[in-house]
Amino acid sequence: MMQWGRTEDMDEKELIKHAMDARERSYSPYSQYRVGAALLCGDDTVFTGCNIENASYPATVCAERVAVGNAVANGRRDITAIAIVGGKSGETGVLTDYAFPCGICRQVLREFSDPASFTVIVARSTDDYKKYKLEELLPESFGPDHLL
Ligand code: THU
């Protein structure tokens, strides 16, 4: 867990670096698709995750959901941004993919965020990334407010 100065000063490149570090810990012997995620919380803390595959393939968990699990297990339920780095790095080690979160991960991020303001960063490097609001990636979403 890392502490940020202020959310407004959040350095996107720093968040991406945390995701790149987390990707180093990816356990993906079956797909070789290595993913790292760094989740920024409302109190400026950062929790990371990597994908963890399993010999029983459906038991695999995505990097984003591991990061959310880490945050929630550490008492955070207010998340503001995520940086995701992933893909198969070929012989050059250069990432060719922007690793967009899967549908299940988008829904899990939605549970603990304001989708209109939550930022999703998909990065190939600290200088090559795209930014979205969760609302763009998961429009007309279903969330906790519907059950009030
Ligand atoms: N994966 C993630 O970690 N995040 C996603 O949003 C998409 C997929 C992982 C799961 C699996 O280990 C590998 O990528 C290939 O599906």
Name the residue at shortest CA distance from atom 1 of ligand 1.
62
Task: Return mean pLDDT, the chain.
Answer: 93
Query: Each residue of 29-87: pLDDT tens digit?
Result: 999 999 999 999 999 999 999 999 999 999 999 999 999 999 999 999 999 999 999 99
| Closest C-alpha to 42, from 20, 71, 62 | 71
Q: Which helix (H) or strand (E) holds 97?
A: none
Q: In the chain, how many domains are there?
A: 1
Look at ligand 1, atom 9, and give the residue with the nearest C-alpha: 62
Q: What is the pLDDT of residues 12-41, one digit of tens each?
A: 999 999 999 999 999 999 999 999 999 999
**What is the domain-level CATH number for residue 63?**
3.40.140.10
Per-residue pLDDT tens digits for 86-108: 999 877 778 999 999 999 999 99
For 142, the token pair is 């279903």
> Of these residues, 12, 53, 64, 135, which one is catalytic?
64
Distance 98 CA to ligand 1 centre (A): 12
SS3 145: helix
Domain enclosing residue 104, as ranges: 2-147
* Cα–Cα distance measured from residue 28 to residue 21, given in angstroms and rounded to the nearest whole number: 15
Q: Give the pLDDT score at 92.
A: 78
Q: Which of 30, 33, 68, when mutated, tests ligand 1's pocket best, judged by the most ligand atoms within 8 Å of its CB?
A: 33
Question: What per-residue confidence (pLDDT) applies to 7?
Answer: 41
The rounded Å distance from CA 10 to ligand 1 centre is 26
Assign 5 a pLDDT band (cuts: 50, 70, 90).
very low
pTM of the model: 0.93
